[in-house]
Every structure is written in C-alpha cells, then in structure tokens.
Amino acid sequence: MRVAAFQLAASGEASSARLAAIEAHVAEAKQAGATLAVFPELALPGYGAGEAIKDEARARGDDDLAALARLAAQSDVAIVSGIALQRDGAIVNAAVLLRPGEEPVVYAKRQLYSDYEKALFRPGEMPPPIVDIGGMKAGLLVCFDVEFPEHVRDLAKRGAEIVLVPTALPRSPAAHFIARNVIPVRAFENQVFVVYADWCGADERFAYQGLSSIAAPDGSRLAEAGDSEPAMLIADIDPGAFTASKEQNPYLDELRAV
C-alpha cells in the first residue's frame, strides 16, 4: 500500500477553501500512486479557529464529511482527515476515515490537549477503531492520543498494523522531541507503522512544529518533512519487509501481564 501524508501550511482560510485544497492534494496523491491520503488534525475547519470551530461543526461539519466521502469515491483514494463534528449535542475533535464505497468511520479524540481543546470539545468515549485498508489493519488516533503509549499498544494488541495520526503539534522543544523521537519509538515498541501528519507555519493562535513523518516498525522513517514548509510524504507500506525486526523485537508476543 502506498501512503501519502500531507503537512499543510496553517492559515485563516474558510472551510470551503480548505476543502478545495484537500481535493487538490488528493489528486496529487493519486498521481503519485497512493491509495491512502492522510491530513492533519482539524484540517476542517482549522486547528486555530477557536470558537468558530463550534459554529463550523454545527453548520457544515456533516456536509464536509459527506464531501470527503464523495471525494474518496470519485478519486478511489481512501482519506483520513481531522474534522470537527457535532455528535449528541456536543462538538468532538474527530479523525475520519473515508474509503471508496464504504461507510465513514469516525473516531473522537479521547485525550484532549490543554484548556484550549477542553473548552471546545467533549472527549471521545469509544476506543479507537481498527479498519481494513488495502489489505492492512489500520487504527486511528488524534495527536495527543499517540503520546500515551497505552493507546498505541491497545491498537497493536488488537491487530493493528498501521496507526494513522492526524495531529496539530504546537511548536516547542518538547514538541520537537515528540515528533523526532516519540513517534518512531511508538512504531518500534509496537512493531507497527505510524503515519503522523502535522501542520506547519502559524495561524492566529499557534505556531506548529511540522516534522511530519511515516515511521516503520524498525524505528526508521520512511519519509519525513521539515519543520517549516508544506510537504507531501510518500511511502510504500510493506509489512513483510520488517519481518526480521518483528522477530528480533517480539514485544507483543513476549508481553506478560503486570
């Protein structure tokens, strides 16, 4: 399976413009031979939009979700994107997976980061799903979720081979460490692939770390972006290429209850 991960430049664009940009990027991914395209946290309507996120989620969140589903069907490219949605009277910070010909899969972020997110969203209550994409079992997380080892280990124990993570990582020394070190360690310690798609640049509220990456089960980076420029990362995901790593580091097989 060939995966495209998009590091997007933060801006104050309206959701309609953001959706048009996603359409263009999916076309890029398809031209590059990718069958899956992954976008950052709250790609719609933008992570730094503040209280406007609630209004956007109520007014057009499900319309945007339907538009992404149509785009996946028309392009024959599966799409993972961050989006704000209204569910059961509250706003959730969601990762959605749209596969051609399949019903949308929605996961609401469980680990909300900072007072900013906690004032805008209700935390998700359901475990992250595992779905089939291109013959692989894929799990969904959002940003801060992946920094908790328990969540990635849970997905790995349930059979996930790849973990898809839309993120919005504010720039800081700690964020640099997370992007450069924690993400490949999560891949290594669970013997999974991790696709980590971040913003770069700045909006009216945040500057972002960038450093998006696609990490492999041996801890290597199959593709990575810099810290300041938009990028499309492309990687071929072949679990069989990492059999030796799994044999040398059989963490899941050797795990004992504590």
Residues identified as active-site:
41, 109, 143
d(CA 252, CA 115): 35
Q: How far apart are CA 81 and CA 253, in angstroms?
A: 32
Residues 179, 213: contact at Cβ < 8 Å? Answer: yes
Which one, of 193, 187, 194, 144, lies nearest residue 168 by Cα? 144
How many angstroms from the chain centroid is the CA of residue 166?
2
According to DSSP, residue 128 is labeled P
Least Cα distance to 17 among 36, 43, 55 occurs for: 43
Helices (H) and strands (E) in the chain, counts: 8, 13
- Burial letters 47-64, b for 16+ CB under 10 A, else e: bbbeebbbebbeebbeeb
Q: What does each C-alpha distance from 76 to 33, 47, 72, 101, 136 come to in angstroms?
A: 11, 27, 6, 9, 17
Q: How far apart are CA 22 and CA 4, in angstroms?
A: 12
- Rounded to an integer, what distance in angstroms lies between the CA atom of residue 246 and that of residue 44? 37
